[in-house]
Amino acid sequence: MNADKKKPDQLRKLRKEMEKIQDARRFEHTLGVEFTSAALAMRYGASVRDAQTAGLLHDCAKCLTDRERVSICKKNNISMTELEMENPFLLHAKVGAFLAREQYGVTDQDILDAIHNHTTGRPGMSLLEKIVFIADYMEPGRSHAPNLEEIRGMAFADLDRTLLKILGDTLDYLDGGNGDVDPMTRKTWEYYKEKAAHAAE
């Protein structure tokens, strides 16, 4: 079988594995992120397959317990911040990237980065990282985020503006006492705010 014919099988296999380890709601979300990542990749000329792979695997460590996530980090010398140790659910992106490589055989660094940075983003994100970050926020199964309709429209017109809007809304939500802010979320927001200000000059 040639390599191209094998590719859809790999996605199918990953989909099956996610269905096995995730509850029905989480799996539905996973498929939504896969689908939305693929659509954004088509719009912006990224690899659709890479977007599907990252979308499928982005929450592969979400179903672990906090204790399991911490233990994986300790055993594999994955650094943890104090905030992450106090809130191990924040580790699911980092541990997810680790499992994507070790357990699911992903070697492409951009896919691994897209999984690693899907909750906080980072300054200077790649196209694929932006796509998965945005897809995670707006996939069809999401219904509670503020400004969802506006964001869904904006995502197909201007990726950086969408990123900034999501980060701003997330910070507003977390600053409003709804959870701990990972400092990287603010850093990413500041970076893209600055970038937008320069673009407008």
CB nearer to Fe ion: pick between 110 and 196: 110
Query: Is 136 one of the binding residues for Fe ion (CB under 5 A)?
Result: yes
Near Fe ion by CB under 5 A, which window of 4-12, 106-114, 135-143, 193-201?
135-143
CB nearer to Fe ion: pick between 46 and 56: 56
Q: What is the 8-class DSSP label of residue 139?
A: S
Q: Is 186 left (phi over 0), alpha (psi -120 to 50) or beta?
A: alpha
Residues in contact with Fe ion, counted by CB under 5 A, come to a total of 2
CA distances from 165 to 11, 82, 158 (A): 31, 28, 11
Name the minimum Å distance from CB 62 to Fe ion.
6
In sequence order, what are the residues at sequence separation of 6 or more whose Cβ sits closer than 8 angstroms to the Cβ of residue 32? 135, 139, 140, 141, 142
Longest dimension (CA), the chain: 54
Query: Is 34 one of the binding residues for Fe ion (CB under 5 A)?
Result: no
Query: Is 139 one of the binding residues for Fe ion (CB under 5 A)?
Result: no
CB nearer to Fe ion: pick between 28 and 195: 28
Query: Is 59 one of the binding residues for Fe ion (CB under 5 A)?
Result: yes
